[in-house]
Structure 1
Amino acid sequence: MAVPKNMGSVTQIDTQAEISPYDVNMTRDNVEAIWNSVEGFYKTGLQPGMTMVIRRQGEIVLKRSIGHARGNPPPRHPDPDPSTVLMHPDTPICLFSASKAITAMLIHKLKEEGKLKLHDTVGTYIPEFACNGKENITIGQVLSHRAGVPMIPMKNPHPSLLFKWNSVIDLINSGHTSQGDGKTQSYHAIVGGYILGEIVRRITGKPVEDYLKAVIAKPLGATYLTYGLPKQHQNKAAFNYSTGAAPAFPINLLAKRALNIDFEKVASISNTEGFMDVSIPAGNIYGTADEVSRFYQMMLDGGQFNGKQVFEADTIKDAIKPAGPLTVDQTLLIPMRFSNGFMLGENLFSLFGVKAKKAYGHLGLINIVSWADPARELSVAFLNTGKSLDPRTLPALGKILVSISQNCSVLHK
């Protein structure tokens, strides 16, 4: 997309929210160095709009946006609405797969309430699932991407299938697997979310979106953190755009293998009313960067937020405990460690920067990254709208992750 010469013309800073970084073991130069790395990503022309919130020791040191929430699309994906809307620090953005971490905590809440155990089989709650090699698959294996059912069992499904909850559940229930023993880690991009959401529905007797609101969104004081968006908020959502060079072999095939649909269709589908009207537990929670950062701050604070005990401290500890060793994931084909619900950091380099072994969080459709780092007393939400497999994407994102690590010193060994 077009990048203006004057970056300030598309930048908004919530000066009322940002505190002095000197109060939390940082400097103004640290904060500006991080923001400069975000501006560097914007200058690639691959990100129409981005927001970032960083909390350090529970205080907001950075809350900013750059670019447009709508409009200024790349030329090969023209927007039918020629008007442009600036991105605001509190614009709701689809989290895509970063939704998984929040959905996982609904299952952990049910465990906390004594309504399930992670070693229970999925079939205990969804009897129709227990067939065709899936009889012994546990809830914990679904959370840690070891359930052996990484894809919807249908060749070239139309994207609109994701809008039909019962149809997806029926397909998953009827599917086969030869990897139902929990030994193989294979990222479940879509299927795991539906399984977990259906377990929530069957235990509570209510839609998963109701439980999300009661358990997480309301206690955090969030306007959003909803699956999809209510009609009255849909016009506020940031649009997603497919940007950069078209995905080439083998990246395009790997992306389709993970997502079940062509990568370039994801952005356009996510801008439709149909997408915002439904619940897709693995991929369509909407939230602001501040709300997502609040979620991870609550995790850092042992389940507390504003004096409320949202989760018990032991629930948080269980949720972020490694579920297996660092291993090459058979869907993503990269080394990855998971807990029961979260992607985990590493010492050398990971999704959460360098020397981030204690960090946990989740990636969302290539560029979105949200996490907590207990060693740095850090909760971060970096949300964006450019969906790109362009070769420039990962280096630009990597610079942001490294910059945050380097400019937020480790406080606890």
Structure 2
Amino acid sequence: MAPLPPLPRLPLVSDPLRRIRVPRDLDSITAFGPEADPRDAGMTRDQVEAMWRSARRLYRSGVHPALQLCVRRDGHVVLDRAIGHASGNGPHDDADVPRVPVTTDTPFVIFSASKAITAMVVHLLDQRGVLHVGDRVADYVPEYARHGKEAITIAHVLSHRAGVPNLPGHVMDVDNLADRDLLVEVLCDARPASRAGKTLAYHAISGGFILGEVVRRATGDDIRTVLDREILAPLDFRFMNYGVAAEDLELVGRCYATGAPVLPPISNVLERALGKKPDDVVEASNDPRFLTGVIPAGNAVASATELSRFFELLRAGGELDGVRIFEPRTITRARSEQSYREIDFTLGFPTRYGLGFMLGAELLSLFGPNTEQAFGHLGYTNTIGWADPQRALAAALVTSGKPIVYPELPDLLALMRRIGRCVPFA
């Protein structure tokens, strides 16, 4: 397929889809990480290039200033590439704004894909006997029992069945993110919308803060410290924690609101789930206070290379590079099905969840067709990290554009299908 010409920049007429300028020469803005010979992973070069062609097609949609894709099979990195710009080519950036090329090492906020990381911190503490996912939240945070929440368990929170999916909008104001006393008070004062365990309703932000406070009460350390000490440092991860150190702020790729502006009723659903308007969430994610804070449900920072490596750890049964972090049974529990073809009352459509993961399916699956064993998590809006044991696959797609509605959305689904079809069953 021939590259699309760059989008015109008209001074008085803005693009209603808020797209970027797509360069004619995509090779000039493509970066490569180390890739193994596909034959070592039981694949062919044609299969790898077919996946990358689908990724390039998604980039040409013009709603992702940067895109990273890393695919591992049986422990081998068969594809690790990035295309676009880490900053400087947003839909409203002037032509004189410096364009910073993206690399495979550029970290980005991965939003709700953070939930998978947070869940595994909790499961690791269960593995070590520090807590149990069947325990009540109030066993660790006694004041959380207020307003009839005494029966809510850690497992209810992990599976989005705690009945407290929403938080007041002011909680996500960047000025409040470091105010632990405020966050705890808001969590404890929340009134459940349903009985614990009764209904499925995606906890976009609230669940992460609840789990973060449980981890702090159980260990005496904040969840950022626990994640680094128990998982990231032993495996020598550069990023993939909640936020970054102040000295690393300039390394983080910028997120952009792209695609058509969201209108009701979709905007109402998103604002209720996120606590803020979609565009405001994207803008807040670029704020230094957001990028240095701890939001367990939404501000982990990673590249696709690192995120896929985390899922390779899980696919491989909890051991990576000779370092064991998880026991296989811990990962099995985290993947265990907690809902099946049940309507999610936050998102409005049926979703299959485990204890911290979105799960695959035979037909309608985030991870492509025939992915019943796959598990992972979507991040706002087109970022995905996942593992598929049936294919010996661990992969991650990270994008910096945050469109909700755009005509080329089928290109994202086509990319996921292509990966599923190109990576053979093990």
TM-score normalised per structure 2 = 0.93
Contact 2:168 2:275 in 1 (8 A): no
Per the alignment, residue 2 of structure 1 pairs with 21
Contact 1:153 1:175 in 2 (8 A): no
Structure 2 counterpart of 1:29, which letter?
A: D
SS of residue in 2 equivalent to 1:38: helix
Match of 1:177 among 167, 173, 192: 192
Q: Does 1:100 align with 2:115?
A: yes
Deviations, residues 126-147 of structure 1 (Å, cap 9, x unaligned): 0110021211000000000000
Per the alignment, residue 317 of structure 1 pairs with 332
TM-score normalised per structure 1 = 0.95
Deviations, residues 187-208 of structure 1 (Å, cap 9, x unaligned): 0000000000001111111111
Q: Over aligned residue pairs, what C-alpha RMSD do you find? A: 1.6
Per the alignment, residue 357 of structure 2 pairs with 342
* Cα 1:393/1:125, change in 2 over 3 Å: farther
Contact 1:106 1:211 in 2 (8 A): yes
Deviations, residues 342-390 of structure 1 (Å, cap 9, x unaligned): 0000001311111000000000002001100000000001111000112
Q: Does 1:143 align with 2:158?
A: yes
Q: Give distance in 2, aligned partners of 1:80 and 1:132.
A: 54
Per the alignment, residue 55 of structure 1 pairs with 72
Deviations, residues 175-195 of structure 1 (Å, cap 9, x unaligned): 111413211010000000000
SS of residue in 2 equivalent to 1:358: coil
Per the alignment, residue 85 of structure 2 pairs with 68
Contact 2:174 2:289 in 1 (8 A): no
Q: Does 1:227 align with 2:239?
A: no
Give the drift of 1:81.
8.8
SS of residue in 2 equivalent to 1:61: strand
Q: Give distance in 2, aligned partners of 1:224 and 1:80.
A: 31
Give the drift of 1:25.
2.0
* Cα 1:170/1:30, change in 2 over 3 Å: same
Match of 1:218 among 225, 233, 239: 233
* Cα 1:273/1:3, change in 2 over 3 Å: same
Structure 1 counterpart of 2:24, which letter?
A: K
In structure 1, stretches of 5+ residues that fail to align are none
Q: Does 1:299 align with 2:314?
A: yes
Deviations, residues 255-278 of structure 1 (Å, cap 9, x unaligned): 112211100111211111111121
Deviations, residues 284-325 of structure 1 (Å, cap 9, x unaligned): 011121111111111111100111111111111111111232
Per the alignment, residue 380 of structure 1 pairs with 395
Q: Give distance in 2, aligned partners of 1:230 and 1:215.
A: 18
SS of residue in 2 equivalent to 1:120: coil
Give the drift of 1:220.
2.2
Q: Give distance in 1, aligned partners of 2:210 and 2:320.
A: 28
Q: Give distance in 1, aligned partners of 2:326 and 2:170.
A: 40
Q: Does 1:278 align with 2:293?
A: yes
Give the drift of 1:212.
0.7
Contact 1:219 1:305 in 2 (8 A): no
**Percent of aligned pairs sharing the same letter:** 40
Give the drift of 1:392.
2.4
Q: Give distance in 1, aligned partners of 2:192 and 2:332.
A: 31
Contact 1:220 1:291 in 2 (8 A): no
Give the drift of 1:393.
5.0
Give the drift of 1:79.
7.3
Q: Give distance in 1, aligned partners of 2:147 and 2:394.
A: 42
SS of residue in 2 equivalent to 1:315: helix
Structure 1 counterpart of 2:23, which letter?
A: P
Structure 2 counterpart of 1:128, which letter?
A: E
Structure 1 counterpart of 2:122, which letter?
A: I
Q: Give distance in 1, aligned partners of 2:44 and 2:375.
A: 25
Q: Give distance in 2, aligned partners of 1:18 and 1:10.
A: 18
Match of 1:194 among 187, 209, 212: 209
Contact 1:53 1:64 in 2 (8 A): yes
Match of 1:40 among 57, 63, 88: 57
Per the alignment, residue 38 of structure 2 pairs with 21
SS of residue in 1 equivalent to 2:339: coil
Q: Give distance in 1, aligned partners of 2:311 and 2:300.
A: 15
Q: Does 1:394 align with 2:412?
A: no
Per the alignment, residue 11 of structure 1 pairs with 30
Q: Give distance in 1, aligned partners of 2:348 and 2:46.
A: 37
Give the drift of 1:110.
1.0
Q: Give distance in 1, aligned partners of 2:21 and 2:30.
A: 15
Q: Give distance in 2, aligned partners of 1:250 and 1:79.
A: 32
Contact 2:202 2:346 in 1 (8 A): yes
Deviations, residues 24-49 of structure 1 (Å, cap 9, x unaligned): 22111111111111111111110000
SS of residue in 1 equivalent to 2:211: helix
How many correspondences in the alignment? 407
Q: Give distance in 2, aligned partners of 1:287 and 1:389.
A: 22
* Cα 1:9/1:167, change in 2 over 3 Å: same
Contact 2:169 2:276 in 1 (8 A): no
Q: Give distance in 2, aligned partners of 1:147 and 1:269.
A: 27
Q: Give distance in 2, aligned partners of 1:149 and 1:293.
A: 30
Structure 2 counterpart of 1:41, which letter?
A: L
SS of residue in 2 equivalent to 1:50: strand
Q: Give distance in 2, aligned partners of 1:162 and 1:127.
A: 22
Contact 2:140 2:218 in 1 (8 A): yes
Contact 1:220 1:294 in 2 (8 A): no
